[in-house]
């Protein structure tokens, strides 16, 4: 959420790019293919990222909304973390893309109704009806104990100078 508040679309959410800190908070790494957006328009204009984590619209459209793609990649990552495998996998990228676009999501083992509901909403092939980050936060599977805040935090956009960028990597 904080990344999106800064106008950044990561574009390569996957388990390898998610780290846990000492307090078990997830930290996102590797912003190599990320893209800045301006304001509330999160449109991105080219496909980027790891093929098995791409959303259907990133494969089929030239321009698409970035936030729903991040939700999709989060769902694929969650599947990998829970089941130890990806939901759409094949020996060729072309076949992976076809599976992402048209294959139903199948799970290698039984899961709770709540988790199945979450996956159906995160891996919704239609980005217009795909669940949003605030909705994920309130989903019963995520918030089983009712301990997450009901209000989403707000983040002010940071102003990054050219000097900040040049000093970011030494």
Would you state the pLDDT for residue 4?
63
Contacts of 161 (CB under 8 A, 6+ apart): none
Which one of the listed residues 12, 23, 126, 164 is annotated catalytic?
12
Looking at residue 150, its pLDDT comes to: 52
Residue 106 predicted with pLDDT over 70: yes
Neighbouring CB atoms inside 10 A of 15's CB total 14
Tell me the pLDDT tens digit for each residue of 23-44.
Answer: 888 888 877 677 667 666 677 7
Q: Is 45 a known active-site residue?
A: no
| Residue 154: pLDDT band with limits 50, 70, 90 | low
Return left, alpha or beta for 11; rule: phi > 0 is left, psi -120 to 50 is alpha, else beta. left
Q: What is the rounded average pLDDT of the residues 113-125?
A: 95
Pure H helices in 6-157: 56-60, 66-83, 93-102, 113-122, 133-138
Is the pLDDT at 159 greater than 80? The verdict is no
């Amino acid at each position: 959420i904080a990344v999106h508040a800064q106008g950044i679309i990561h574009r390569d959410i996957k388990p390898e790019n998610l780290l846990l800190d000492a307090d078990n908070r997830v930290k996102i790494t590797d912003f190599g293919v990320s893209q800045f957006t301006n304001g509330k328009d999160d449109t991105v204009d080219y496909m980027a990222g790891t093929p098995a984590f791409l959303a259907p619209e990133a494969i089929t459209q030239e321009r698409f909304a970035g936030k729903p793609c991040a939700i999709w990649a989060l769902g694929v990552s969650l599947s990998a973390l829970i089941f130890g495998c990806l939901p759409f996998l094949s020996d060729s990228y072309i076949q992976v893309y076809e599976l992402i676009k048209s294959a139903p999501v199948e799970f290698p083992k039984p899961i709770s109704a709540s988790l199945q509901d979450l996956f159906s909403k995160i891996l919704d092939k239609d980005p217009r009806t795909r669940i949003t980050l605030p909705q994920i936060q309130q989903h019963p599977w995520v918030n089983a104990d009712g301990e997450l805040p009901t209000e989403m935090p707000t983040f002010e956009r940071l102003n990054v100078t050219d000097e900040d960028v040049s000093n970011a990597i030494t």
